[in-house]
Structure 1
């Protein structure tokens, strides 16, 4: 652990307001809530005297300043702690003011900003003070349920009941560089870990553990807030008629050539596309349980004029021992992905995922940490989304580790990417006990984008520069941009319930045997529900199912024919779910 940073001295709530808010924009509210003395508390001095002295020293009536303001021209409802008022502690009046401010934000559908700087719950008010933790956390939950963005700025110091209630409820959490942050302060900590190097944690420690999203020096926090506030605002769907055309993918390869190009060491990776396609990208970190998986990146950004939440599997140097673990996502990474999926849903922002992994990080420790369950959670979460979603396979789509991020309204695939139930090498080892036969198995498995498009798994192909994206990464971005923007516009059409039902209907249609399209529809009313306003639209869905079934029959027949022409049968017929060991 690095040496302890040196925190900046605490400043008053009014000084924070001057630093962060547009000049003259702050309007104080809820200042009339009185400070009670429920216990008639007295130590060396009566509590009432301490409150009076705190008001004289701080210039405020309580340990929080609440009201409305603008930051970068954008309206916010705010609650700013004042450490100079009895250590910024939270009693009844602070809890009431914060909860009232959150309710005002909910009613106005205006982002809420909490700037915390506190020693925790106020001892002089006993359990009345402690209960304000529950009150403010409940008010934050109502904000989440209403889809109103909540941003938290943890200033020096933030500890105790404020940190463990509304202080950690932010959709996005920023921290002041060097700020002392923790639930138990060094003077009251009851448990000391063996070998611990210091008694408290700081903003940078929480950042490393994925517990805060961004750390910035005090003078840089206003600009950071402007970026975040600008990106959490829902934006209108693009007009399809005004979008640039998509270049058609040509010279499509199949089989082992596709595998080699998808795995090429110089192929552009997720962060390359995220940073090139978006403006004002703000990375978000961690699963909020103490880990940030470097193989799973994500954050807020803007593609064209559309604000989105982004998730990507980042392979880095394609080494399992490298900083990015070759894009093999751990349970913590999938928990982080789920967190970002739910953030997109809550804030009504489209979700865009970039898929590129040979498979999940499947060590024994990962299994013990719930790998299968976290993949399942991502699948279930994506299935439940009502916000628009687009997934793009940009390299290797390896088994369930990739599927966890691809069940979207629109699934795109670069023409030289691959997507498979398992690696061709693994399939060859299982089927023929010979990994050297991977090239022929790759073709039979239909891992190429053109095969999957014919099968109905993929909605559209994204063209690449001749020879592959690795030969001209900038051109690959230019070809991808209109495809992703168009897919977003298509996904944003209609209502949320319609999107979910369309995904379910599509899932039910994939793999339908010849003549089975009507069976796949099952009960037309269950699949279509009330989302389709007319019988004509229902007929259109049925026609689409039939066409997709014909594609499935043709693709399945082609696979059977390829195996027949090979002149031999596999050593065994196996349904693969992950890597099965040899006998």
Structure 2
């Protein structure tokens, strides 16, 4: 990493050769505009002024708190007095301090910006940097504006001692206050981001983005080598942090402005929901239902549209977010920001992956559910509805699941969904298996595609337990009551979403239209309900499930159906025994006389 940084500085002095691939950059348009090598994508460090120019709409940025400057509270001196270092940094950079703060527009969306500049004493955070960043968060809260921070720092400013250290507490507290005020916060990590900046406000972002190849970590490589006696390997890269769940996306600088603009659009979208009624809220007795085992095959069909297939059709502007901020990212659960009928939403779902082994057929690890909870918390803060798409045979039970707390993750997810103060819609799109499914199904409206299934255990698993014979799964499937019709009668779900003839795999585009219409309809039902009432009614909804009266109603309905069928068969048999024409004569109306009486 150190060699890379030296090469970077040498190349910046000449401005012509990429230190990574050696390509001449004099005529490279990507380099001239973004300071990114057009051949290999290498990202050069850039100044705060360059960063702001690339991020904000032209002419929209207005700096504030520029007058704040550092003093020398400790009268510190090493090779040079601190005051002299400050003066040199001002002369070399044209800045008064290592951070520039202000208000601008990103793709038309007004935001507060705080951008650090590594050229000014390594972007270190002293008292003034901490004060300006804190004031930026306070301005965002006061104006109800999103805030975007761009970090490039070597850490705390040693020349200010503990006064520099306590800026970590101050800026983190300011970021937390913005969280609690429902102000969206996007944190961008660039090369390098280390020390007190990384371990304070920069890690508080609702959404954390990083530039490719950026050196990011709490302790810089030189500090690690001197104190731990070893060179850090991959642990200090943006890509490593993405793999381990600490960064939502690694975004090329050339796409950063558009990515931030799209996120701002999604978290602020409040379009009117215009519903088209497609949800079936009662069971039709006219249609002949498929056997439960036939529906199991349709729900598991390899070409059935998955969560990502549907998201790409119902919310083309979807921004996927990654990581649980604890251990890693689980591709078996997809989560991010989307837009449905002009309304910003958080979408979370199981992803089977059409054979992609990393998706594990939608069987999620603990970090998948913890990622889901992180997005639910974000939805609650930003007051966005939550839509979950459920398609899993159950949680992953292999290596790592128990060690990392799969039961704990499921329990926490169930609890969090039960108290989310925003509208929630859950849609079972394929197989809803056991705890892995219900962890995302504690919703105000629970819907099922008509060929989906929802079960406490797979039919094969139940047959193996009950009969020690998995081949009896078709028989057990009928008894488990796993179909949408069965579950609507039991009031476990609130409605059935129709599918194209023959199943969703026959026409994924039309299936997505029906899914979109159903979500829009469900959100419209919930739009004007207060957060307090949503939580209260959601509790009541699940509180009554499984009570005796539910089962009695289902049993009575079954008895009535069977009795009606028996009466129909008996009358049919009687009609067959009557002489031709006798039935009509017997039923003909006649005047009542004394003789008749």
Structure 1: which 5+ residue stretches go unaligned? Answer: 515-547, 562-583
Distance in 2 (CA, whole Å) between partners of 1:209 and 1:560 is 57
Q: Which residue of 2 aligns with 1:567?
A: none
Q: Is the 8 A contact 2:299 2:451 kept in 1?
A: yes
| 2:523 is the counterpart of 1:488 | yes
Q: Which residue of 2 aligns with 1:445?
A: 480
Q: Is the 8 A contact 2:385 2:424 kept in 1?
A: yes
Q: Which residue of 1 aligns with 2:83?
A: 48
Task: Give the deviation of 1:203 after TM superposition.
Answer: 1.9
Distance in 2 (CA, whole Å) between partners of 1:135 and 1:255 is 59
Distance in 1 (CA, whole Å) between partners of 2:497 and 2:87 is 68
* 1:478-497 per-position Cα deviation (integer Å, ceiling 9, x unaligned): 22221111111112221001
Q: Is the 8 A contact 1:234 1:348 kept in 2?
A: no
SS in structure 1 at match of 2:318: strand
| 2:405 is the counterpart of 1:373 | no
* 1:174-226 per-position Cα deviation (integer Å, ceiling 9, x unaligned): 11222221111110016999997736522222222232122222222111111
Q: Which residue of 1 aligns with 2:499?
A: 464
Distance in 2 (CA, whole Å) between partners of 1:85 and 1:97 is 15
Task: Give the deviation of 1:509 after TM superposition.
Answer: 1.8
Task: Give the deviation of 1:173 after TM superposition.
Answer: 1.1
Query: Match for 1:243 among 265, 269, 275?
Result: 275
SS in structure 1 at match of 2:358: coil
Q: Mark the CA change 1:434 to 1:165 in structure 2 (over 3 Å): closer, same or farther.
A: same
SS in structure 2 at match of 1:393: strand
Query: Which 4+ residue blocks in structure 1 deviate beyond 3 angstroms?
Result: 3-7, 190-197, 247-252, 548-561
1:215-364 to structure 2, matched below 5 A, reads 215-236=250-271, 238=273, 242-246=274-278, 252-318=289-355, 322-363=357-398
Task: Give the deviation of 1:557 after TM superposition.
Answer: 6.5
Q: Which residue of 2 aligns with 1:77?
A: 112
For normalisation by structure 1, the TM-score amounts to 0.85
Task: Give the deviation of 1:124 after TM superposition.
Answer: 0.5
Q: Which residue of 2 aligns with 1:174?
A: 209
Distance in 1 (CA, whole Å) between partners of 2:151 and 2:229 is 30
Structure 2: which 5+ residue stretches go unaligned? Answer: 5-18, 21-41, 564-597
SS in structure 2 at match of 1:11: coil
Higher Rg of the two aligned structures: 2
Q: Mark the CA change 1:357 to 1:43 in structure 2 (over 3 Å): closer, same or farther.
A: same
| 2:452 is the counterpart of 1:420 | no
Query: Match for 2:56 among 17, 21, 25?
Result: 21
| CA root-mean-square deviation | 2.4
Moved more, 79-88 or 4-13: 4-13
Q: Which residue of 2 aligns with 1:477?
A: 512
Give aligned pairs, total. 521
For normalisation by structure 2, the TM-score amounts to 0.83
Q: Is the 8 A contact 1:68 1:76 kept in 2?
A: yes
Q: Mark the CA change 1:20 to 1:411 in structure 2 (over 3 Å): closer, same or farther.
A: same
SS in structure 1 at match of 2:548: coil
SS in structure 1 at match of 2:502: coil
Task: Give the deviation of 1:560 after TM superposition.
Answer: 12
Q: Is the 8 A contact 1:391 1:407 kept in 2?
A: yes
Query: Match for 2:535 among 471, 482, 500?
Result: 500
Task: Give the deviation of 1:450 after TM superposition.
Answer: 0.6
1:28-39 to structure 2, matched below 5 A, reads 28-39=63-74
SS in structure 1 at match of 2:317: strand
